[in-house]
Amino acid sequence: MSERSREAVLDDALDSVGVDAQFAAELFAVVDALETSVALRRAVTDPAASEDRRSGLVHALFDSRVSGPVAAFVADAARRRWSSGRTFVDALEREAVRAQLRAADADGSLDDTEDGLFRFARIVASDRDLRTAVSDRVVPLEVRQQLVADLLADRATPATVALARRAVAARNRSFDLTVETYVDLAAAQKDRVVATVRVARPMTDDQRQRMRAALSRQAGRDVVVQEVVDPGVVGGVRVELGDEVLEGTVAAKLDEAKRLFD
């Protein structure tokens, strides 16, 4: 089974249980505990150990530290074969993010969380000093996370704050790229896909709605349009839809969307 297939199995497992913000916080705590120990990661994913042994080890380690549903979820994940301890931890972290987003969906704040994450990531990416402050690993992680929390205080949903703090701790990707994956997961929660639309000047509400309709037809499902104003965009519009980049000057299949900017 591929790692992507295992992710899909974990997605189904998470979607079958009730989750809330506390579930997400506890699952993140498990991720952090595994992150600190190579030996522990190896032990809970050791292919030479039986499924029961790996699962039992998880229960022995975490039953007293997290709630029963979280321990059971991690123990069930440990029963599966993983190519490495790192991929196991990465998969658990992805599910913790999804749990946080599901909690936001349940309380009606998912759309605001998705939009808040995107906009804050753009702010960080466009401000060199702030980008450095968030990413400088010489500064203790707790200090950088508190900076993010302070900047978002009273301006964002609790889920936005929690996930932005989490993105600061990303190991192998920049803050803005990490948040981008969170935004994609938020869109997927509603079976939507994110389109980042870079425009030379702000779109009107009518243009935005027509752009969304054109892109939804292109994608074959509902599209969330995230607008970035960049006067340097050649041709007036540049669309990033999944892995596809559509330039306003050359993408004939987006003629309808392009005409909005003529």
The secondary structure element, H or E, covering residue 254 is none
Position 126 pLDDT exceeds 80:
yes
User: What torsion, rounded to 10 degrees, do the Cα atoms 216, 220, 221, 223 define?
Assistant: -30
Q: Name the pTM for this structure.
A: 0.84
Query: What's the rounded Cα separation, in Å, for the pair 41 and 89?
Result: 8
Pairing of β 193-199 and β 244-247: unpaired
Between helix 110-126 and helix 141-152 the angle, nearest 10°, is 120
Average predicted confidence (pLDDT) for the chain: 90
- Residue pLDDT, tens place only, 174-210: 899 999 999 999 999 988 999 898 888 888 999 889 9
Alpha-carbon Rg for the chain in angstroms: 20
225 forms bridges with which residues in the sheet? 195
CB 145 within 8 A of CB 165: yes
Q: So where are the chain's domains?
A: 3-106, 110-182, 193-261
